[in-house]
Structure 1
Amino acid sequence: MSWLRAPGADDDKRSMGVLGVVTGSERYPGAAVLGVEAAWRAGVGTVRLWAPRRVQDLVLARRPETVCHELEEEPTGVDAWLLGSGQDSRERPTALRTLLDAALGSGAPCAIDAGALDLAGQHRGAAVVTPHAGELARMLRALGRDVDADAVRAAPVDSARSVADALDVVVLLKGATTHVVAPGAAAVAVRAPTHRLAVAGSGDVLAGLLGAALASTAADAPRGERLASLVAAGVRLQGRAAALAAEGDVPIAALDVAERLADAQR
């Protein structure tokens, strides 16, 4: 996991990677808190959040280091983007759509989650999408395939590969066994070390971790199979953090996983 590096004497908050985050909403503000927390814990140098004021306030209460912007502010000065967590494409204001289009069209690598998955394919840079089975089924239906979530679960690798090839993205299909598929490359399967990850918000934590990985490696710009390898490493790191948080098989919350990312790195 090459992005997990200690800063050197010549590093600063810029050289350690700047992640632009467009997540959270009035309905689901916590997704931004979880993703931003995970990004910081994964070692990114700077996190810049574009979000409604309520979302900004909750994030700043947890992580005051975060630089916050209104949705209408110009999206510049980032190395990679995290998009869509805690959002619903059916409730997308004009300012948010404009911002998402600009981020996807910027050429910077993007981690595309939840409420931005319908825009996958509009990206100009490297991209990873992070659907669960139901979301991947919706993506396949948008591509003309008549499938449902059960069909995706029955053929996870083939389903993920169809989207990867059609949209030129790395697909991370979430589940107890997560499948990572890049166009034209072998699939990677990562089995979760604990089922305690089956809690709301764990996907938001994973998205924040992946966003940090993209920002920290943007200068090297991994794509295809190399990007898939990076993504699979991120899945393993989250699994290790969850196992540490759930030691003794105790219940956990998603924020517990984010908080144990540093321990997982050690």
Structure 2
Amino acid sequence: MMIPAEWGDWAPAQARDWIAVPGAHDDKYSRGVLGLLTGSADYPGAAVLGVEAALHSGVGMVRYLGPQRAADFVLARRPETVTAIGRVQAWLLGSGMDAAARDAPTSASLASALAEGLPTVIDAGALDLIGAATGPVVITPHARELAGVLGRVGITVSAEQIAEAPGEWAVRAAESLAVTVLLKGSVTHVASPLGVRLTVARATPWLATAGTGDVLGGVLGALVATHSDRIRADAGALASLAATASLIHGLAAHRVSAGGPFTALDLAGTVSQVVRDLATGNPEL
């Protein structure tokens, strides 16, 4: 399906405006604190990848509050991660979780986070909780996940139908769910209920590997935490941040791939180079 004329391709020059470069008077709190409830006993690696990506994206602090097994892996990889309860400016929820297998403590923690009214990135195993959110939300599904989300609100569609017309379904989901939608694919479609329509076409087919979606969640969560005050004043900012995260993700993939395969952890480690080049206006991006 042809991308409608009203869709705008998101470019590095636009993304640059959403890279927050710290000043002399900034501290770790003013640079943004991201809270993560991600990972599970079965998929602890998702928590590691999200934390790793967030820390490479320019956030001031990552506060990981997920399951203990995942926390152990996170701390082993990134000891600067904070695992004590405290103030956050945005949430990343659901990566590496299975909604059907959530235990009561995890469900209670997710419900508490959603009730805080903070800007929130909802992924994977928390997509069934969109309706409980009290703050601005951006969701990051692939086609199969979006089909499930829409099915829960009475809209019957298959993953194949969404893949055939991703722009149309991203818009319909944004309008039906009243959230910003980042629909992952070879071309990423970002749609907001306020009418913003953005595409990001910087992906490489090598991105189709386990864990890269968790990296995207970490990048987006960090950007959202860094711009939490701006989102509170203008919920439409979520679409620009989602497109920026997707662009960073795609550019990092091209850089680490160099035409070949790579791991999700390698991808996360390359994010900081792309953020630096965006911030400094590197014309090679």
Say yes or no: does 1:148 pair with 2:152.
Answer: no
Say yes or no: does 1:29 pair with 2:40.
Answer: no
Number of aligned residue pairs: give it: 260
Change (3 A) 1:76 1:106: farther
1:191 corresponds to which residue?
201
1:31-52 deviation digits (Å, cap 9, x = unpaired): 0000000000001001111122
2:239 corresponds to which residue?
228
1:77 corresponds to which residue?
87
Matched residue type, 2:58 = G
Q: Equivalences for 1:62-141 in 2 at 5 Å?
A: 62-69=77-84, 76-141=86-151
Matched residue type, 1:47 = V
Q: Are the aligned partners of 2:119 and 2:136 in contact in 1 as well (CA < 8 Å)? A: yes
Q: What is the distance in 2 between the residues matched to 1:83 and 1:234?
A: 16
Q: Are the aligned partners of 2:121 and 2:217 in contact in 1 as well (CA < 8 Å)? A: yes
1:227-252 deviation digits (Å, cap 9, x = unpaired): 211210110011111110011x1110
Which shifted more, 41-50 or 120-129? Answer: 120-129
Q: What is the distance in 1 between the residues matched to 2:114 and 2:18?
A: 22
TM-score (norm 1): 0.94
Q: Are the aligned partners of 2:116 and 2:134 in contact in 1 as well (CA < 8 Å)? A: yes
Q: Are the aligned partners of 2:44 and 2:70 in contact in 1 as well (CA < 8 Å)? A: yes
Shift of 1:186: 3.8
Q: Are the aligned partners of 1:183 and 1:224 in contact in 2 as well (CA < 8 Å)? A: no
Structure 1 unaligned spans of 5+: 70-74
Shift of 1:103: 0.8
Q: What is the distance in 2 between the residues matched to 1:173 and 1:126?
A: 17
Change (3 A) 1:224 1:9: closer
1:121-152 deviation digits (Å, cap 9, x = unpaired): 22111110000000000011111112110111
CA RMSD of aligned residues (A): 1.4
1:18 corresponds to which residue?
33
Q: Are the aligned partners of 1:18 and 1:46 in contact in 2 as well (CA < 8 Å)? A: yes
1:72 corresponds to which residue?
none
Aligned with 1:242: secondary structure?
Answer: helix
Change (3 A) 1:114 1:243: same
Q: What is the distance in 2 between the residues matched to 1:190 and 1:3?
A: 15
Identity percentage over the alignment?
48
Q: Are the aligned partners of 1:121 and 1:168 in contact in 2 as well (CA < 8 Å)? A: no
1:218 corresponds to which residue?
228
Change (3 A) 1:3 1:76: farther
Aligned with 2:133: secondary structure?
Answer: coil
Aligned with 1:121: secondary structure?
Answer: helix
Structure 2 unaligned spans of 5+: 1-15, 278-285
Shift of 1:10: 1.2
Say yes or no: does 1:244 pair with 2:259.
Answer: no
TM-score (norm 2): 0.88
Aligned with 2:268: secondary structure?
Answer: helix
Which shifted more, 24-33 or 227-236? Answer: 227-236
Runs of at least 4 residues off by over 4 Å: none
Q: What is the distance in 1 between the residues matched to 2:17 and 2:107?
A: 33
